[in-house]
Amino acid sequence: MTKVVFMGTPEFSVPVLQSLIDHEEYEVILVVSQPDKKKGRKQIITPSPVSLCAMENAIPIVKPINIKKEYQEILDTSPDIIITCAYGQIIPEQILNAPKYGCINVHASLLPKFRGGAPIQKAIITGEETTGITIMYMDKLMDSGDIINQEEIKIEEKDNLETLTRKLSQLGKKLLMETLPSILAGTNNRIKQDPSKVTFAYNITLQDEHIDFNKSCREVFNQVRGLSPNPAGFVKLKNKTIKIYNGYQSKERSLKEPGEIVKFDKEGIGVCTKDYLYIITELKLEGKKQMKVKEYLNGCKDKLIGEKYE
User: Are residues 235 and 188 part of one domain?
Assistant: no
Beta strands in 140-288 (DSSP E): 147-154, 233-237, 240-253, 261-264, 269-272, 276-285
User: Are residues 276 and 162 part of one domain?
Assistant: no
CATH number (domain holding residue 40): 3.40.50.170
Number of H helices, E strands in the chain: 10, 15
Of the chain, the percentage scoring pLDDT greater than 70 comes to: 97
Final residue belonging to a domain, choices 178, 197, 216: 197
On whether residue 171 sits in a domain, the answer given is yes
User: Are residues 84 and 31 part of one domain?
Assistant: yes
User: Are residues 215 and 190 part of one domain?
Assistant: no
Q: What span, in angstroms and rounded, lies between the C-alpha atoms of 263 and 248?
A: 14
On whether residue 81 sits in a domain, the answer given is yes
Structural domain boundaries enclosing 125: 2-197
- Count of CB atoms within 10 A of residue 30's CB? 20
On whether residue 243 sits in a domain, the answer given is yes
Does 92 score more than 90 pLDDT?
A: yes
The average pLDDT across 82-97 equals: 95
- Count of CB atoms within 10 A of residue 188's CB? 19
- pLDDT, tens digit, 9 for 90 and up, residues 275-306: 999 999 999 988 888 988 878 776 565 567 76
User: Are residues 147 and 244 part of one domain?
Assistant: no
Q: What span, in angstroms and rounded, lies between the C-alpha atoms of 206 and 241?
A: 13
Final residue belonging to a domain, choices 138, 162, 197: 197
The structure's pTM equals: 0.94
User: Are residues 94 and 7 part of one domain?
Assistant: yes
Cis? peptide before 15, omega within 30° of 0: no
User: Are residues 140 and 219 part of one domain?
Assistant: no
Domains identified in the chain, total number: 2
Task: State the pLDDT at residue 302.
Answer: 53
CB 194 within 8 A of CB 113: no
Final residue belonging to a domain, choices 129, 162, 197: 197
The average pLDDT across 116-131 equals: 97
User: Are residues 257 and 171 part of one domain?
Assistant: no
- pLDDT, tens digit, 9 for 90 and up, residues 67-87: 999 999 999 999 999 999 999
On whether residue 310 sits in a domain, the answer given is no
Of the chain, the percentage scoring pLDDT greater than 90 comes to: 84
User: Are residues 62 and 188 part of one domain?
Assistant: yes
On whether residue 179 sits in a domain, the answer given is yes
Task: State the pLDDT at residue 300.
Answer: 60
On whether residue 309 sits in a domain, the answer given is no
Q: Judging by beta carbons within 10 Å of its beta carbon (0-12, 13-18, 19+), is residue 207 exposed, middle or buried? A: exposed
